[in-house]
Structures are given as structure tokens and as C-alpha cells.
Amino acid sequence: MTISKNDKIPQVTFTTMTANGPEGVDSDSFFKGRKVALFSVPGAYTPTCSAKHLPSYIEKAADLKAKGIDEIACTAVNDAFVMGAWAKASGAEGKVTMLADGNGSFAKAVGLEMDGSKFGLGTRGQRFSMIVNDGVIEELNIEAPGDYKVSSAEHMLEQL
């Protein structure tokens, strides 16, 4: 079942790249007591994700924070090494926290996984965004297959 507005974020462990290597990030702790702009991409370094989706959040980071967002985070069914390299290559460091969902646990827990097998990607997370306030989803924007509209930073700014 797909997660909905007013639902609590499920408890999962993401992985993030640090100076000491990959480290686990508990979702309950990550979202507790703050307002987070979370967006999901089907894959790091993929065309729309790299050309539009991640750049929209990097470019609008200050605007989102001015409207009450405490943290901006990107998740994808990729490992922490790939997500860390993508953060460096894209200029996301210090603006967007990369939350690797290497096994797709989060995508599955929120019911937003997709089958990318025909593109050689296997099971991935769909393209979506959400505003999470103290662990509860205030806004949820799920893209239609192949679209990039409602999960953009620009759309999220309109919701704040």
C-alpha cells in the first residue's frame, strides 16, 4: 500500500557517506523534530535526475530553507558510495543530504518502488517528493511514469 499524507514515515535505515565511510542513518532520528524536504529519484547519474531533479533542489536550497525547511534530502536505490560521488560531482554537498536506500527498503516500505528491469535498473524507487514534519508526511507528490513536474523544488516551494 502506498503511503499517504498524514502518515508517519516508516522506520528504516538509510546509509550516507561520511568522511569515515558509509554510516547508517535511522529514519526516526533523521526526521524527528524538524521539517524535511525529501525527494526520491530512480537513480543517481540518470538523465532527468542529474539534469533537472537534483539541480532544482540545489538551486532552490536557500529558498526552501527560507520557507521553513530545516533539511533537504535525496534518496535513491543506490549505494552510499554512488550517492556520495553524485553529491560531489553535482555540487550538492552542504545543500542536499544524500540518503542511500541501497536495498530499496524505504521505497518498498512507502509502497513507491518501481520495476526498472527493462532499462537494466532492477527494482528502484519512483520519482516523488514529500514534506515531512517531525516524521509525518504533510505533502506527497508522486510523479506519473516518465514525468518530472510535481516532485520538483519549484513545485514544493508553491506548497510551502
Active site residue ranges: 49
The Cα–Cα gap between 145 and 14 comes to 25
The Cα–Cα gap between 115 and 11 comes to 23
CA neighbor of 45 nearest in space, from 13, 81, 90? 90
The Cα–Cα gap between 78 and 65 comes to 26
Cα(first)–Cα(last) distance of the chain, in Å? 26
Query: Contact at 8 Å (CB) between 55 and 148?
Result: no
Query: Contact at 8 Å (CB) between 22 and 129?
Result: no
